Every structure is written in structure tokens, then in C-alpha cells.
Structure 1
Amino acid sequence: MSEPKKSARFSNIREKKPHVHGPGCKHDHAHDHGHDHAHEPHVHGPGCKHGHDHGHGHAHAHEDKPHVHGPGCNHDHDHGHHHHAPRPKRIRPPGNRPAEGGGTALQLDLEGALPGETDEVGRFEKLEAALKSHHGVTDVHLRRDAGHTEVCIHYQPEGVAPQQLLTLAQYTSATVAGRYHHHTWFVRGMDSGDAAAVIEHAVSRMNGILSASVAYASERLVVEYDREALTLEDVEARVKSLGYGLEVPTAGHVCSHHAHGGGLAPLLEMPLVVAAGVLLAVGWLLERFAPVPALVPTLVWALSMASGGFFAIKGSVQSLLQRRIDIETMMVVAALGAAVLGAWFEGAFLLFLFSAGHALEHRAMDKARRSIESLSALRPEVARVRRGEELVELPVEEVAQGARIVVRPGDRVPLDGIIREGKSSLDQAAITGESIPVAKQPGDEVFSGTINCEALLEVEVTRPASESVLARVVDMVAQAEAQKGPNQRFAQRLERTFAPLVMIAALVFPVVLVLLGTPLKEAVLRAVALLVAASPCALAISTPSAVLSAVAAAARGGVLVKGGIYLELLAGVRAIAFDKTGTLTVGRPQLLTASPTPGVSREELLGTAAAVESLSAHPLAHAVVQAASREGLSLPPGAKDLEAIHGQGIRAKLGEEAVEVGNLALFAGQPLPPELAPEVNRLEEAGQTTMVVRRGSRFLGVLGVADTLRSGAQQTVQELKRAGIERTVMLSGDNARVARSIASRVGLDEARAPLMPADKVTAVRELGKERSVAMVGDGVNDAPALAAAAVGVAMGGAGSDAALETADVVLMSDDLSRLPFALGLARAATSVMRQNLMIALGVSGVLIIAAILGLTRISEAVVLHEGSTLLVVANGLRLLGYKSSGPRDASEVPAVSQPTAG
């Protein structure tokens, strides 16, 4: 019996993060905020539709079960935030695989060594330094070839014994983890990428901060810090002194709960822009048509500058106090320079357009964030919980794991769970992108946010609200911007070096012009035009707008992309490797053939096999037992003493007779009836997995079992080839004949089998040497191969914790047609990023040359500069409407009906 894929699921669950809402949030939940540290007053912005009389304590003061601090607890007990204790992730045991370049090495699971750590900077650097200080340790680094991240410690056996090193490493890890922590906040009040840079710069310079990163698009601040040197309140106070608020984000929400975007910015930004525009126009009319002193329009323009430049001036002061030069500083200096020279109109016009561009950019980014937040809004706020004969409505946050909830026809499912009573069809489009409702029955999983279409269901809750698939998808999408791709990193590096250089050039340029004989006023005005022209506003926003829009569009289409870097990597893929079972095939074997030997009836062959296979839990055994049940066979009694022979089959007794069921390897060296071997060959050529059945000394015949090819698999492969994928390969643990049979039916270029998980890793790496390769699997036993590929793509993420944890891109349904959609979207997003960079750099380049040659006035430079900024934002937002040109679901794709093996 060939060994199919094991389906044990990882138990690691992503850490919970507290709940957040933002601009346009329409959730109806109660805020009885029990915060015990000072936040700014709760300001409800325009469009707020909250019911403000509700009663759950948000983010900082949940009244749940008592907080129990166990061994290894890393909470800051002196801190005012009270979190739900996250469900622990699975920690793998230590390993002793050889070091990559030879020699001896010890591996510790990174999650166990430094909970929450993901990369080589910050806390890991502290661990690395501490471990390297021990005698006998030669190198410490991260290793990812096992499908999860490990701390790999190279050592000299003569210098330190393995057990001694393990004890030492675990103690050192615990010490480092106890001292150095990481923390994530939602940042309220950021109205531009400059604000993010100001916060990041200020926090990163604090004593005790190992690393600080602010993602403007997702409005998150992530720090790694030394808890002996500072507290989280110190960070909050530092950020508050800059005029921004911090709050702990809540699982499953993108936007802020407290001030709907935070601070004064969302409330005053657009009114101030409008006021600046009106004052600008009034001043111009007074100068042209009214018999008033020249001082009057000047004062009006000065007021316009103050109104339009309110937030820019505030931001530039903060930057200068930190000895930084950013875009806002450049704009304010340019406007003040124009005013000093008497060009008040130009200065006011500059700040009006700059603030108008920022306001529109801010609203556009909010639109992208709200498109993600709309996913979390799909989950109902209350659930109907069965208590005896009664139904009680409870907020979803209060429903415990294991509770029974009732879902009526037409209702959305409030929490993830398993159906215990009832049959129905569920519309899962919100999670998986499938447009056709999926039939469900007792024992099947259902997901929060899906719609019950037909009949009443009773569901047992398997995850709390904050750990539902929906909440985790929203969290991952919100955090995706932090995983920066090459285009994003290039834009950021350019922006950081560009701004100071332009400022220096703007100071040197007028001096050169004056020395060449240009009048002072004209020289300074041309320098101001240069400052405006060279300001990298469009560059700063070019990639975040595209990444945020693309990951939001992907999530709505049933695809989870974990970061901008994976969008760019997926766009560059030219080869795709597929796992077989559960990916190209359904993963549920069926009996297709029963060939008895002469003198044996089909009933005896199938009945005997089913009687002993009923003792086994193997998927192939289930296929045989189900076939006997369908045919109404009564199984012979007395099956007992089951023995499984790995990779070959089973032995058992039926009464006192021995029965063997397995592949030909089980009967190696024994004489077979002449007709058996040809029949086995024929069935295997047809793609079936064979099982020979012997009772006592009599060979009863051979059974052929096969998996079913996924509907649409052939169509998907054809689409991928049309999209420019140069090589498609199947990597299978099944026998080579079965693998080749399926590969030819699906239209793949090559099949490699039989492969163990380690062999799949080797195959992926070989393919990767020739061209960029993606690995598509179900995320269960394919984790090492997914990690080894340039991009790991997992299927069926809605039902698999392993898929959500291990892959870079997750197809939430078991629908392969989502793969061409994901590839097309990644290429579109990468194209938009490049277009935006070209627009930003191209417009800046033309304007710089025009400003140096004196061909453009300040007002013209401002219009083109702000126009390019809004153009790149609008271009990025186009991705929100991306639609696949291929089939959207399996119903649109012809099924492949040929039997295949599992």
C-alpha cells in the first residue's frame, strides 16, 4: 500500500492582538473603556456611527479570566495594558542536524528561544552576541530549511558537550527573552509618510530601543526594546510629545478604535485646506480688483499660509528638533523663502497645494485601509448561544471555545467552528473567494463571516473571535506592508538621501547664481522652485499605496499575500512546483477497480479486504471500507490483530486465517499467480494505487484505488503557461507511474517521484538555480519545500493553521484557479510600483532641470509636483479593483474525470 501524505496539522496559532477601528468604522460596539493610563480624550470623527452606550472594555482593560503568569511569561507587569493571554504557538524540540557547511550544530526553535521574533535584527542580535560569548560556540544564525525558523548554533564538540550546550543555550535564550521584548502599537494621527519617519526617528534614538519601525500605510509602530532600560509608557510618552497617540491594536481590525484616525488631523485637515484656498483666492481678488493697500492682500496670503501650512509647519518643527530634514521641512522653507522675497502669493499657493495633496493622499490611503477593514466588518457582533433549551445572544468576544451557537438561514456565521447538527450550503466568498456556495454537513468546518444559505445549523465554536480565520487574515493583511520588497526599499533609501542633498543644493544654488550675476531675488526664487521640484513626495508614497491596495484586492479575492516583498517575488516567478495530494488532487481516495483472480468472486475479494481494512485508519483503508458499504456487502466477522507494515500494507487475521493487503513489495520473493503482476502494471499505468489481497495461501485479486483530480487543475496549468510560466513540475511521494499519469493529464512538464519531504526541498532548490520558483502545496507536510522556494503558496488556508503559518502566499480556498489570479495581481502590482517610481523620478527630474534653467515658476512647479503625488496614489488605488481575467471558480472550468491516484 503506497504511503499517502500525512495530514497532521500544526497546532501553532498566531498571537492575538487587541482590537482597532478607524475612519469610517461602522461597528456597533460598546466602549466602556477601562483604561488605566492617560490617553487623549475619545474624539469621534465625522461619519462615526458607533453606538456609544455599549459596554465592553476595549484593548486595555478586558475583564476576562484572571491573568495567570506562568513560567517564561514575558509580559511587562508594570505596564497598564491588559491583554488577552495569547494561545501558545507550537514549540518544536531542539535538533542536532549538521551545520550547513559541515561540522556540528544545535538547532532551537526561534519561537521557543525568542517568542515573537521573526528576523536577524534587534533582539536576535542580542541573543547571537550572548551565545557567541560562550566557549566552544563558533557561529549563530537563523536557519529556515526545516519549514520553521530555528536558531542554529555551530559549536566545537571538544570545546562544549552537546547536552551542556543545550542547557546553556536554553538558559541564555530565556535570559535574553526575559530582558528584550517586542511590542506593536497602532499610531493615531499620522497624516503623511513624513509623520511616520518623524516617529520612527524619535523612537529609534531612545535609550533602550533596539529597533523601531513605523509602517505608514498600515499605521503600525513595532519596537524591540530593553525592558531594563525603558518601559512601554516611556515610548508612549515620547510619541505623545510629538503629537501622536498610540494604542494596542486589536485582532481582526485594521483601523483605530479610539479617535477614528487620531488627533486633530482628520477633523481639521480638509477644513484648513479649504480655508487656505478661500484666503488665497480672496487675496488674489483684492490685489487685482479692489482699491486697497498692498498690505491687505499680503496679510490675507499670510493667513492662507498659516492655514495651509498648519500641519506641515508642525511636522517640520518636530523634524528640525531631531536634526532631520524631510519633505515637510523643504516645503515650509520654500514657502517662507518666497514670502521673505515678497512672493506671498507663491508661498501661500505652495502650502495650499501641498496640504491639499496631503489631505487627498491621506483620504486615499484611508480608502485602501477601509477596504481591508470591510473584511472584518463581515463578522457579526453577536452570536446566538444555546444554553440548554434557551438561546442567549452574546457579544462574540464573550463566547467561549466549545460553546454551541445557532446560525439561522441568511445569517452570517459569527465564529469559526464545526457543524454538529444540520446540513446547509454556505457562501464562503468573503474568506475563500469562491463565488458558489459550498455544501456542508455535520463534522465540516465553518468560518466566521460566511453566510448560511439554506438550513438551520448548530455549530460548536473552535476558536475565540480574535483567533478566527477572518481575524487572522485581516491582521496579516494589515501587517503586510512591513514586509518590504526591493522597490519599496529602493524608494525609501532614495527618499532618505535625496531630501538632505536637495536642501544643500537649494542653499548653494542661489549663491552660485548671484556670483554669476543673477539678481538676488530671482536667484532665491529659482532656488525655492528647485526645492519644490526636487521634494520626493511622490517617491515616498509611490510603493506603500500600491502594496496596500494590492494586498487588499488579493484578500477580497480569497488570496492572502503576506507582504510587498512576496508580491514582487511572485511577479518574478518563472517555474512552479506542485505537490500532488491535496493540491492537484482532492486528497480523498476512492476504490475504482476490483479484479478478482479466477475462481474468486468480487464480493469475496472486496469483503475480505474491507473486513481487515476496517481495523485501519489509513485513507486507502477508508476507501475500501466505503466501497464495500456502498455495495451493501456484509463483512465476514472476526477481523483482529492488525499489523501495519510501513509503506507496504497491512497484515491481520480473519478468524484464524491470516490476511495480507498491500503492494507487491509486501509479497517480495513469493510466487504470484501469473495474471496478478500484469493486472497490477495495467492499473498503475492508469494512475491507480494497487493493493494485492491474500487470504491464507490464496491470492484473491487486486484492488485499484485512486484520488480524484481537482476540477479545473488542467485549466489552471494552461492559464499559467499562457501567463509565461516556463516550467511546471509535480513533486510527489507516490510511485513514479502514478505521478507521471497525473502529470500528463494535468499538462505538467515533468513529474518527480517518489520523493520524501527532504527530497522535495532538494528538487525545489535545483529548480531555483535555473529560474525563480514557487512551490504550491497544502501547507501540511510541504512546509520545508514551501520555505525553500522563492515563494511558498499554500492552498486551503481557511481550514489549515499550517498553511497560514508557513506560506508567503495563501489561497484561502482549495480552488487552484486562484493561482493565476494571484500571479496576475502580483505582476500588476509590481508594474504599478515601477510606474509610480518612474512617474515620481521622471517628474522630479524634469522639474529640477526646469528650475535650474529658470524655465518654471514656483506656482507651476508646485502644481506639477503635487499633481505627480496624487497621480501615483491614484495609480496605486487602481489595484483595489483588480479582477482576474481567468475563471473565478471550479464551476466555470471543465472537470477532469479520469481517475488518478493519491
Structure 2
Amino acid sequence: MTTRPLPELPAAPVLTYRVEGMDCAHCVQKVERLVGTLPGTAAVSTSFTRQTLRLELDEALTPRQTLERHLRALGYVPALQSGPGAAKPPATPLDTPPHEPQAGTARHAAGATAWYRSAQGRLVLLSGTLLAAAWLLSLAAPQAAELGFVAVTLLAGAPLARRAVISARLGEVFSINLLVTLAALGALLIGEAAEGAAVVFLFAVGELLEGVAAGRARSGVQALAALTPSTAQLLTPQGVQEVPAASLRPGQRVLVTPGTRVPADGVIEEGVSGLDDSAVTGESVPVRRAAGDEVFGGSVSTDGTLTVRVTREANDTTLARILHLIEQAEESRAPTARFIDRFSRVYTPGVVLVSALVAFGPPLLGEPLSPWLYKGLSLLLIGCPCALVLSVPAAVTSGLSAGARRGLLIKGGAALETLARVRTVAFDKTGTLTAGHPRLSECLPAGPDCGPTNPDGGHADPDRVTLGLAAAVAGASSHPLSRAVTDAARARGLSVPAVTDAHARPGEGASATLNGRALHLSSAPSAAGRLGGAMTAELGKLEALEARGLSVSVLHDDHAPLALLAFQDDLRPDAAPALADLRRLGVGAVMLTGDHERAAQAAARDLPTIDVHASLRPGEKLRHLEALPGPVVMVGDGINDAPALARADVGIAMGGGTDVALDTADAALLGSSLRGVPDMVQLARATMRNIHWNIALALGLKGLFLITTLTGATTLWMAVLADTGATALVTANALRLLRWTPERP
């Protein structure tokens, strides 16, 4: 009997919604958590920056209409962006759909439109007008005014009650909506309709302010997205044609005129211009670029016309990848944020329990019900955890946005917290402390007769055959020294022989096979380890080159050295100032390099504040990292330092926006300045100070009003004002980080 394979079930479609009203990190987490409880949902993810919800949905278990109904009941306005039945094609990562004013929601959606045009703004204006009218009426007809206060309470409280019920059905029982609803209803029951109206009105104002603040927090990242032009000048056989930038494909050629932005990542084919790369690197000083140079989408051509060959589609440009990584960073929650989340889940039910004891405990012992019930309702409002929950993510989001606008890309709150506590920064030498553009200075064939051959005693004319062999092996590696070899061979028009089995040896060099003979291009320590006594005859020349501060590689086979290749790579002009900045911050600096001690010490002559550890193989680098006082930051080029970057508490890649720099490390300096490292430490410390102040403000105000409530000095409207005020203070304090600038002497 044969069994027939079961048919494969079709995959659930992936839907992406734009969700108006997700105006705080707590909202984003709540939507993700509650949607995840619905049957048939999977891979649920949300983005605060883009206000999007992405999920796989099996509509046989939960129809999308049910999902959308739940979101609306919670006060959010979903609009399908992509997936089956979407009204428009999927948005690219650089799309920034405009916020449209929505009707029928009482949630904060004022982030991008004028606040008074949003549904929440209209609710605040209407309820505020009615509240003012009822107060004026109370001066003449107090009993009639009570009806006005009740109307305001029901008008502004109904959306809260609806959201509280939906949240409870989805598993979140002690939601802030429930606490405010209970307080407002309790106020009506004890005859304090005016206070009930004030409670729901002030809470609505707080939500509105939260939405406005969220719009400002998003503005920094959305400004990056807006830097890519919507159209491009495509070069065709028929001439120049204006096309949507999102339609560009690799290989197409575009025209970039002075004052316009490059529509996509590419390579210049014709023209020379100064490029303002501040959109990506944070450095506003234009960089001169010509044919053969790479350009970033979003950069501005300041004074020249360029013909650019597109190398990446719109949704894969460096700028788009940065935006995507910022979104991922939001999901990487800081340890402090996780602790606050756990604390709030205990804090809120605890306050509800205390409120119940205060409200009903004394009356059970014979005390009058009304004053104690009033105190219990006030405690309910003090139990709202909004300010506390916002204290960390609001600061982290603002800090990450401030860094991204200055070319400091930090991938999440965990890395940010560690950077704030860093004690030691370890630097690679080549391409990090040095400019990363080494040039071949000398190519000396191994043997007793090698040396300078020019009459003036200058650099020797490299042996063409030896250099050709070295270039053949170097082609397997992306290390800056290997690139210097291939560049030198290309500049001399040398014929590079074809090799097989070419591969890089990270931290040591590269190897290849030529006509059955194994050839290696190795660092001097690696060559000495491989060849042993066969290197003895070359030690004198090697030491002389290294004493001059030159980096030396050895071309050799399995038995003997064939040539010494010496490279000159100048220190970055900002290396010494960067180390001085770190010293002022109380952070130590260490150089970890595979170069010989003499070459490393010569390079460090102008860096008196750095400790040098040289002749290190990759495994030895890792052991040195572990021995350094931590937390330890490792700064490298993101290519040959991957193990060290991964082993350090925080790895920072110096990549100028390259793919590897964006993908490898916990953080990346998108600009070319090494001073970005101390700037990153300053930003992290400023963010943590902001977080500590936020937590102190949130808990301090709640503690103060807890005492005044128990003593009877706090009214209901004062309690909700304390909660709203704490939220406003925390948010405003976090937004200060958007104006952060590094302190430099």
C-alpha cells in the first residue's frame, strides 16, 4: 500500500498595514502583543517610525475585517498598504505616505497633520468647549451644569471604555484605558461629575500631546527618507527621460545636474562634482568625486553634472538600508526598557489592589464610603504607567535618530547602554587609525642583492614579475594592503597570471595556487610562523622597513620568501584628536594590530595616549579583547575584523556606509571621521542621563501624589494631571536629544 504525500498548505499572505495612532513605543508593543493573540496570525512585527504593522494572516481563522475591527476598537486606524487586495502597490522603504486626517477614532493621530485637524484634536476641542460651557453654566445653574459635565465624561470616556473592553478580551486586563474609565465612572457615582469630566478631558489632551511629540520624534528619520528624490533623469537612446526614482534598475544611467540629488546608489561614469553626502554620513563638507567613484542615493551634486550608472534599486540603497536598520534598532530593546516593562506589569496591578484596599477597607471598618472611594479613584489614576513605560523608549528612539542624522548608526538600545558604560576602546590599525588608503612603497625581491635601484636612492622600481605574482594572490582579499598591491599592478599595466583556489586568510593574508605551486601573501608575523628559519635572511631588511613605520607583507611559497612588499599608510588627521576626546571622557585606548611591534610603535608615535599590542593573530586579538577592562568597544573596518567586532561588547565598523559596515557590527560610523567614536560615547551617555531623569520624573511625581492622595490633598483632576504632566515632561525631555550635538574643545 502506498501513501500519497499530503498536499502542501498555501502560505498565509503577508499583509502590511499603516496604523494611524501608534504614537509611542508602548502603543507599538501593545499592538504587536494583542494582534499576536488573534488566531491565524504569525510573524507579527510593528514599526514606530513608519507606523506600520506587518503580519502573516490566515483569514480562515481570523478574517482581515475582524483584525481591522479590533484595531479600530483599540483606537487605531488601519489602512492596508501591501498584500492581497491592497489598493496600491507595496511601498518602497523610502516611501513616506502622508498622514491623512481620519474620522471616527479617539486615538492620538496628530503626529503629521495639524493637531486640530486630527480626530483626537477634534475630540479635545469639542470636549474642551463643552467643559468650558458647563463650567460657565455652573456659575448660574449648578444643577443644569451637572448634565454638561456628565455629557463631557461620556463623550470623551466612551472611546476609553471601548478600548478597555477590547484590551481585556485580548488579554490586557489592567490597561490604562480601564484605569481612567473606572476613575471617571467612579466620579459620576459619587456625584463628582465635574471631576470626571476633567479626568477624561485632561487624559485626551495628554494623548494629543503624545501624538504631536511622536511626530517630532519620527521627523528625524522621516527627513532621511525624504532625501531621495521621487524622480530621476534617465538617459535613454532617445535622450533624457524623467522617470520615477523607484523604477530605476541596476545598469541604467541617470543624469545628475548641479543642485539636485542622486536618485540611487551608483558609480560615476562621466563628470566631476563635489558631493554633499550628509544624508548618509552626516558630514556636510562636499567631497570631490569623479569617474569611477561610488555615490550614495540622496547625495547632492553641488557644482557639476554627473552621469551615474545605477548599482542598486531604490529599496536597496545605502540610505534605505540605514532606515531599515534604524527600524530594527527600535526592536532591539534596551535592558532598562525590558526591566521597566516587567516592573510596570507588576506596578499597575499592585496599584489597583492598593486602590481597592484604600477605597473599601476603611468603609468596612465603619468609615464613610465617599471620601475613601474618592481617594481610591485618585490612586487608580496615579497607577497609570504611561510616563514610566515611555521613559526609556522615548529617549532611546530620540537618541538613535539624533545619531543617525550625524552618521552615527547604533543598532539598538542594548548597544547604546553598553556604549554609555565603556571603559576601553580597541582600534585596529590599518584602515581605522590610518587613512585606509595604503600605497605600495617598495617591492623588494628576497635575496642578498635587493634594495633601492634608483640613482637618487629613492624607492626601488618593483620587479614586474614579482609584483604580478603578488597581485594575483592579493586579488582574493579585500584588505586595504591587498588592494594597494592590485592597484600598483594595474597602474603599471602588469599582466596578472590566472590562479586557482584563491582565498583570503582573515587576519593573516591571502593564498592561491599557480601551476600547482601554492603562493601566499602574508603579514610578516604570519610569514615568520609559516616559514620559520627560512625568513632569517630577510629579518634585517624587514626590521629596517618596519623601523620607518612601513607595514610589510611577505610574498612566499610553502618553503621560502619571494619578496618583501612595504606599504605607506598615513595616520588619519583626526586620530589624535579622537583619542584625546576619549581620554577626556575617561576611556582608555588600545591598538590591536597584526603588524610587527616596530611598525606599530612607529605609527603610534603621534598617538601618545594609546597602548600598542602588535604582532597579533586573529585568535590573539580575541584573547587581548577579553583581557581588557570592560565594557570594551572594538573599532575596525568591518571586513577583516569581524571576529573581534563580534567578540567585543560593542563592535563599531568604520565603513563609510558600505554593506559590510552596516551589517557586521553593533554600530557603524558612516562618515570618515574617527571622532565619531567619542561622539558615539557622548551620545550614549547623554541618552542614559536622559533615561535616568525620565525615570526619576515619572516615579518622583507618582510618589509625591501618592502621599498627597492618601492625605486627602489630591483631587481626581490633579491626579490625572500628574499622570499627563509626567508623560509630557518625560516626552519633552526625551525630545531634547534630537538637538544633541557633541561637545568638543
TM-score by length of 1: 0.69
Q: Which residue pairs with 2:264 in the alignment?
A: 415
Q: Determine which of 773, 787, 792 is the counterpart of 2:632.
A: 773
Q: Which residue pairs with 2:738 in the alignment?
A: 880
Question: How big is each residue's C-alpha offset from its partner over 1:591-613, in whole Å with a ceiling of 9 and x where there is no partner?
Answer: 45799968954589733524641
Q: Which residue pairs with 1:791 in the alignment?
A: 650
- The reply to whether residue 276 of structure 1 matches residue 154 of structure 2 is no
- The reply to whether residue 557 of structure 1 matches residue 406 of structure 2 is yes
Report the Cα offset of residue 218 of structure 1: 5.8
Q: 1:775, 1:793 within 8 Å by CA — same for their partners in 2?
A: yes
- The reply to whether residue 378 of structure 1 matches residue 232 of structure 2 is no
Give me the whole-angstrom Cα distance separating, in 2, the residues matched to 1:410 and 1:398: 22
Opposite residue 252 of structure 1, the aligned amino acid is P
Give me the whole-angstrom Cα distance separating, in 2, the residues matched to 1:750 and 1:268: 60
Opposite residue 313 of structure 1, the aligned amino acid is A
Given the superposition, is the C-alpha separation of residues 214 and 333 from structure 1 closer, same or farther in structure 2, using an over 3 Å criterion? farther
Q: 2:466, 2:563 within 8 Å by CA — same for their partners in 1?
A: no
Question: How big is each residue's C-alpha offset from its partner over 1:565-619, in whole Å with a ceiling of 9 and x where there is no partner?
Answer: 2211211111111122211112222245799968954589733524641454346
Give me the whole-angstrom Cα distance separating, in 2, the residues matched to 1:422 and 1:810: 30
Opposite residue 486 of structure 1, the aligned amino acid is P
Report the Cα offset of residue 238 of structure 1: 5.1
SS in 1 for 2:240: strand
Q: Which residue pairs with 1:688 in the alignment?
A: 550
Q: Which residue pairs with 2:337 in the alignment?
A: 488
Q: 1:612, 1:652 within 8 Å by CA — same for their partners in 2?
A: no
Q: Which residue pairs with 2:467 in the alignment?
A: 613
Question: How big is each residue's C-alpha offset from its partner over 1:749-777, in whole Å with a ceiling of 9 and x where there is no partner?
Answer: 4233333334333332333xx42111111
Q: Which residue pairs with 1:862 in the alignment?
A: 720
Q: Determine which of 371, 375, 378 is the counterpart of 1:529.
A: 378
Report the Cα offset of residue 544 of structure 1: 2.0
SS in 1 for 2:358: helix
Q: 2:12, 2:56 within 8 Å by CA — same for their partners in 1?
A: no
Opposite residue 602 of structure 2, the aligned amino acid is S
Give me the whole-angstrom Cα distance separating, in 1, the residues matched to 2:250 and 2:134: 65
Give me the whole-angstrom Cα distance separating, in 2, the residues matched to 1:667 and 1:192: 62
SS in 1 for 2:262: coil
Give me the whole-angstrom Cα distance separating, in 1, the residues matched to 2:385 and 2:704: 13
Report the Cα offset of residue 231 of structure 1: 8.2
Q: 1:416, 1:461 within 8 Å by CA — same for their partners in 2?
A: yes
Given the superposition, is the C-alpha separation of residues 338 and 243 from structure 1 closer, same or farther in structure 2, using an over 3 Å criterion? closer
Q: Which residue pairs with 1:48 in the alignment?
A: none
1:105-504, aligned counterparts within 5 Å? Answer: 186-190=18-22, 195-196=27-28, 199-208=31-40, 219-221=51-53, 239=71, 242=74, 244=76, 245=78, 247-248=81-82, 250-253=91-94, 256=97, 259=100, 264=105, 265=107, 266=109, 267-288=118-139, 290=140, 292=141, 294-322=142-170, 324-388=173-237, 390-504=239-353
Report the Cα offset of residue 252 of structure 1: 2.8
Question: How big is each residue's C-alpha offset from its partner over 1:793-814, in whole Å with a ceiling of 9 and x where there is no partner?
Answer: 111241x211111211111122
Q: Which residue pairs with 1:847 in the alignment?
A: 705
1:64-103, aligned counterparts within 5 Å? Answer: 79=13
Give me the whole-angstrom Cα distance separating, in 2, the residues matched to 1:361 and 1:747: 49
Give me the whole-angstrom Cα distance separating, in 2, the residues matched to 1:334 and 1:650: 74
Question: How big is each residue's C-alpha offset from its partner over 1:698-749, in whole Å with a ceiling of 9 and x where there is no partner?
Answer: x999874221211201110110111121x32222222232223324433354
Q: Which residue pairs with 2:581 in the alignment?
A: 719
Q: Percent identity?
A: 35
Opposite residue 190 of structure 1, the aligned amino acid is M
Give me the whole-angstrom Cα distance separating, in 2, the residues matched to 1:740 and 1:273: 67
Give me the whole-angstrom Cα distance separating, in 1, the residues matched to 2:233 and 2:225: 19
TM-score by length of 2: 0.83
Q: 1:553, 1:882 within 8 Å by CA — same for their partners in 2?
A: yes
Give me the whole-angstrom Cα distance separating, in 1, the residues matched to 2:497 and 2:326: 52
SS in 2 for 1:439: strand
Q: 1:255, 1:261 within 8 Å by CA — same for their partners in 2?
A: no
Q: Which residue pairs with 1:730 in the alignment?
A: 591
Opposite residue 777 of structure 1, the aligned amino acid is G
Given the superposition, is the C-alpha separation of residues 231 and 439 from structure 1 closer, same or farther in structure 2, using an over 3 Å criterion? farther
Give me the whole-angstrom Cα distance separating, in 1, the residues matched to 2:486 and 2:223: 46
Given the superposition, is the C-alpha separation of residues 597 and 505 from structure 1 closer, same or farther in structure 2, using an over 3 Å criterion? closer
- The reply to whether residue 707 of structure 1 matches residue 569 of structure 2 is yes
Opposite residue 411 of structure 1, the aligned amino acid is T
Q: 1:192, 1:216 within 8 Å by CA — same for their partners in 2?
A: yes
1:12-27, aligned counterparts within 5 Å? Answer: none
Give me the whole-angstrom Cα distance separating, in 1, the residues matched to 2:170 and 2:483: 68
Q: Which residue pairs with 2:3 in the alignment?
A: none
- Contiguous gaps of at least 5 residues in structure 2: 1-7, 83-89, 110-117, 475-479, 515-520
Report the Cα offset of residue 790 of structure 1: 1.4
Report the Cα offset of residue 669 of structure 1: 5.8
Opposite residue 755 of structure 1, the aligned amino acid is L
Given the superposition, is the C-alpha separation of residues 571 and 668 from structure 1 closer, same or farther in structure 2, using an over 3 Å criterion? closer
SS in 2 for 1:405: strand
Question: How big is each residue's C-alpha offset from its partner over 1:490-546, in whole Å with a ceiling of 9 and x where there is no partner?
Answer: 221122222222222222212222245432211111111111223222112212211
SS in 1 for 2:351: helix
Q: 1:485, 1:568 within 8 Å by CA — same for their partners in 2?
A: yes
Given the superposition, is the C-alpha separation of residues 261 and 763 from structure 1 closer, same or farther in structure 2, using an over 3 Å criterion? farther
Q: Determine which of 607, 610, 620 is the counterpart of 1:759.
A: 620
Q: Which residue pairs with 1:11 in the alignment?
A: none
SS in 2 for 1:606: coil
SS in 2 for 1:607: coil
Q: Which residue pairs with 1:506 in the alignment?
A: 355
Question: How big is each residue's C-alpha offset from its partner over 1:283-308, in whole Å with a ceiling of 9 and x where there is no partner?
Answer: 222212x2x3x331011112222343
Q: 1:509, 1:527 within 8 Å by CA — same for their partners in 2?
A: yes
Given the superposition, is the C-alpha separation of residues 258 and 587 from structure 1 closer, same or farther in structure 2, using an over 3 Å criterion? same
SS in 1 for 2:463: helix
Task: Point out the structure with the larger helix share.
Answer: 2
Report the Cα offset of residue 208 of structure 1: 4.9
Q: 2:256, 2:307 within 8 Å by CA — same for their partners in 1?
A: yes
SS in 2 for 1:359: helix
Opposite residue 204 of structure 1, the aligned amino acid is G
